[in-house]
Amino acid sequence: MQHVKNTLGLSTLYCTLDTLAPEQFEGLRQQGYDDVVPYPPAVEYARRWEREVNTENPTTLASLVSQRRKTTYTAYVESKPFQPPAPTPRRATVICVTGVKGGVGKTTMAVLLANAMVARGKRIVVAELDPYGNLANLFRVERTVTADRFETLPDVLTDPELEQNMLRTPAGWWLIPKGDRPLGLSKDGVARLIHLVGLYADALILDTHAGHLMSTVVAMREADRVLGVTTADRTTWTDLRAFLHMSERPVYLVLNRVRERPRKAAAISAFLQKEIGFRVAAIVHEDDTLYQRVQQGLTPLGSRKTNARIHQLIQTLSISTKEAKSHEA
């Protein structure tokens, strides 16, 4: 499916008459579908994916396949070495949202954190460092700019110049969508992004790839807080300890998409905390309302219970570095 999308430059939707469970929905998204929608989709929603049809000279499949693939002007440029200017205090709290397995809800967690923080009047930026991410499609915004630009941007920018390299989402926070580099940003690109946004925002949330890409490694080492997102399924715990120990920053665990009852969830959390060695900062239960909104093409918003958990998590992340290290010990 990814090959078809890349070759034809088309968006793919999965339309179904059935109600999908959240895990099925995430599975289809992982397979490469841009969205999963009920059939028939609402007219207003379908128009977001419309393509103009030329009835006089209809496009054939053969002609589409033969066309050169679309690329952004930053897709294949070489990285420019990052040379940080004179030391300046970073304004933003940098939060790296990561994990070792896809489908655990890292992107959803990043969005919920951004929603909660921007509601407090903060200037929030979410950077999508996962080259297989989907945030732009999730918010129905066109990737007119991408993270690839940070490979070649100047090391010093004014606020208006920086804003020209980000997108404003309907939720009120800024988004830096994924780029087109197959392996994501380079070390210099990530360092430049963190430096520039760090001087601009109150919080920078880094949504990373579930693996040892360079962008993930740099994000974990440069962030002020690292969130390891996992589920109650033990298969998502594999290699999590070794992976999170790459960071020298305060690390917290988030047990996400939990369907177990509170008492059992607490027991799983205690066991996970003992096995992995990091504090479980939040237990977030499966939110069917959230996934239904995503399926309907609406702005992702959590339920009242989910939002309460996210606000508690934010309070935990506000602990000073010294206190956080004592908790880990």
Cβ of 199: how many Cβ atoms within 10 Å?
17
Going 16 to 306 to 108 to 246, the CA torsion angle's sign is negative
Which pair of tokens denotes residue 255? Answer: 């047990």
Which pair of tokens denotes residue 26? Answer: 């995430």
Q: What's the pLDDT at 214?
A: 92
CA dist., res. 205 & res. 87, Å (int): 22
Q: What's the pLDDT at 8?
A: 65
Q: Are the C-beta atoms of 153 and 192 separated by less than 8 Å?
A: yes
Residue 164, φ and ψ in degrees, nearest 5: -70, -10
Q: What's the pLDDT at 256?
A: 94
Half-sphere exposure (Cβ direction) of 286: Cα atoms closer than 13 Å:
16
pTM over cut 0.85: no
Q: What's the pLDDT at 196?
A: 96
Q: What's the pLDDT at 7?
A: 65
Q: What's the pLDDT at 62?
A: 60
Q: Are the C-beta atoms of 40 and 15 separated by less than 8 Å?
A: yes
CA dist., res. 62 & res. 187, Å (int): 39
Going 183 to 188 to 191 to 196, the CA torsion angle's sign is negative
Q: What's the pLDDT at 95?
A: 97
Along the chain (329 residues), what's the average pLDDT of each consecutive run of 10 residues?
69 76 78 76 66 56 52 55 84 95 90 93 96 85 90 93 94 93 91 96 95 92 95 90 90 94 95 94 91 73 91 80 36
Q: Are the C-beta atoms of 214 and 183 separated by less than 8 Å?
A: yes
